[in-house]
Amino acid sequence: HHVAVEADVAVIGAGPAGLFAVFECGMLRMKCVVIDTLEAIGGQCAALYPEKPIFDIPAHPAIAGAALIERLAEQAAPFAPIYLLGRRVDALAEQPDGSFRLQTSKGEVVRARAVIVAAGAGAFGPNRPPLNDLDAFEATGAVRYMVSRREELRGKRVVIAGGGDSAVDWALSLKDIAARVTVVHRRPKFRAAPETVAQMEAAAERGEIDLAIPYQLHGLEGKDGVLDHVVLATLKGEERRVPADHLLAFFGLSMELGPIADWGLGLERSHIAVAPATCMTNIAGIHAVGDIATYPGKLKLILQGFSEAAMAAHAIHPRIFPGEALHFEYSTSKGVPA
């Protein structure tokens, strides 16, 4: 493993708290690398409610989730954070020299002298269907939760499960290149844009797509991670075996604490316990801010995460610049880099 990135502070999570931590660290001349599982920054605001207005951000009587994230990214931009997106931080360990070594799910190593965990309720990941031998079929790519290269499905028999936009959009997109597309949904009504649902139903009438409704995923058949059938079942127990090379499951995202539980951090009911004045965890040099951090009186609000980011940055400063006095300054007197 080579060292991909070195920075003063590694920020785990690109939600609102992580993004504002970049700004607060930047104002104290500390450079950040920000790592997030999602392909886009913004945490819950961007992934769960981009168009919903938030009413309790100071000085914004109403601002949509996505717009808030755009503003935070703009505010952090002068400090040129390095974004490593689309990868999870799997391991975090202190080194003999007091620095930290992080390892990502893409095998990269990140070195930093301090860490801010801004991981919300944990890493976003796909909801996985409870099926036999799922791990083996995931490992080979027979079962997938996203499509990064459409061409890989050319000529394949594809079963798509789910009733939202992803399922419908991919059914329409893949029907032209896949050998067969079967859409499995447990009820007739889809939760997707009516226009694309109508297109999918028209394609089904022309015989270009098979609709398996009302069916649910029941099992996977195949060997050594190579899929040959997806077994479907109705609630009454009627079964149907669909020949398939791939299953695409689109059941939405969920958050799980995941690897964070294994880093030796003091936890309290799936949250990281911190000292309220510094947001420091039980490990010196590792701080936690935002939804993941807990202490007596904690409010799980975005504005609280902003304040915690400021406290964590100030507490980390002496670690990055030992012996250098930190004179408190206002942003108005300092400005930000042009």
> CB of 94: closest distance to ligand FAD in angstroms?
17
Q: By CB under 6 A, tell whether 12 contacts ligand FAD.
A: yes
Q: Which of 26, 81, 122, 162 binds ligand FAD (CB under 6 A)?
A: 122
| Phi, psi of 255, deg, nearest 5 | -110, 135
Q: Which residues of 312-334 are buried (b: 16+ CB within 10 A; e: fewer)?
A: bbbbbbebbeeeeeeeeeeeeee
The helix or strand, by DSSP H or E, that contains position 272, with its residue range, turns out to be strand 271-273
- Helix, strand or coil for residue 269? coil
Rounded to an integer, what distance in angstroms lies between the CA atom of residue 186 and that of residue 163?
8
Residue of 79, 83, 124, 190 interacting with ligand FAD (CB under 6 A):
124
Task: Return the ∠ at Cα 241 (arms to 235 and 244), rounded to 5°.
Answer: 125
Kindly tell me which residue out of 26, 120, 163, 285 binds ligand FAD, with binding defined by CB under 6 A: 120
Quick one: which of 22, 32, 76, 121 contacts ligand FAD (CB under 6 A)?
Answer: 121
Closer CB to ligand FAD, 75 or 199, in the complex: 75
**Contact of 85 with 36, CB cutoff 8 Å:** yes
β-pairing verdict for 216-223 and 100-104: unpaired
Q: What is the gyration radius of the CA atoms in the chain, in angstroms?
A: 23
Q: Which one, 222 or 258, has the nearer CB to ligand FAD? A: 258
Q: Report the site for ligand FAD in 255-314 (rule: CB under 6 A).
A: 258-260, 290-291, 300-303, 305
Nearer to ligand FAD, 200 or 255 (CB): 255
Contact 257, 265 (CB under 8 A): no
Which one, 35 or 247, has the nearer CB to ligand FAD?
35
Handedness of CA 20, 21, 22, 26 (dihedral sign): positive
Compute the least distance from the CB of residue 306 to ligand FAD, in Å.
Answer: 9
**Contact criterion met (CB below 8 Å) for 8 and 110:** no
Residues in 72-101 that interact with ligand FAD by CB under 6 A: 88-89
Nearest residue to ligand FAD, scored by beta-carbon proximity? 120
The residue (of 46 and 217) whose beta carbon lies closer to ligand FAD is 46
| CB nearer to ligand FAD: pick between 153 and 309 | 309
* Tokens read off for 199: 């297109």
Tell me if residue 183 falls in helix, strand or coil: strand
Of 3 and 49, nearer to ligand FAD (C-beta) is: 49
In the complex with ligand FAD, which residue's Cβ is closer, 220 or 309? 309
Nearest-approach distance from CB 191 to ligand FAD, in angstroms: 16
* CA dist., res. 245 & res. 228, Å (int): 6
Contact of 260 with 272, CB cutoff 8 Å? yes
**Binder of ligand FAD out of 4, 14, 63, 171 (CB under 6 A):** 14
Q: Which two three-digit tokens encode residue 258?
A: 């995941």
DSSP 3-state assignment of 114?
strand
- Cβ-based nearer residue to ligand FAD, 105 or 173: 105
Task: Tell me how far apart the alpha carbons of residues 103 and 16 are, in angstroms, rounded to a whole number.
Answer: 23
Site string for ligand FAD, 21-60 (x = CB under 6 A): --------------xxxx----xxx--xx----x-x----
Out of 7, 11, 15, 168, the only residue in the binding site for ligand FAD (CB under 6 A) is 15
| CB of residue 25 to ligand FAD, shortest distance in Å | 15
Contact footprint for ligand FAD (CB under 6 A): 12-18, 35-38, 43-45, 48-49, 54, 56, 88-89, 118-124, 258-260, 290-291, 300-303, 305
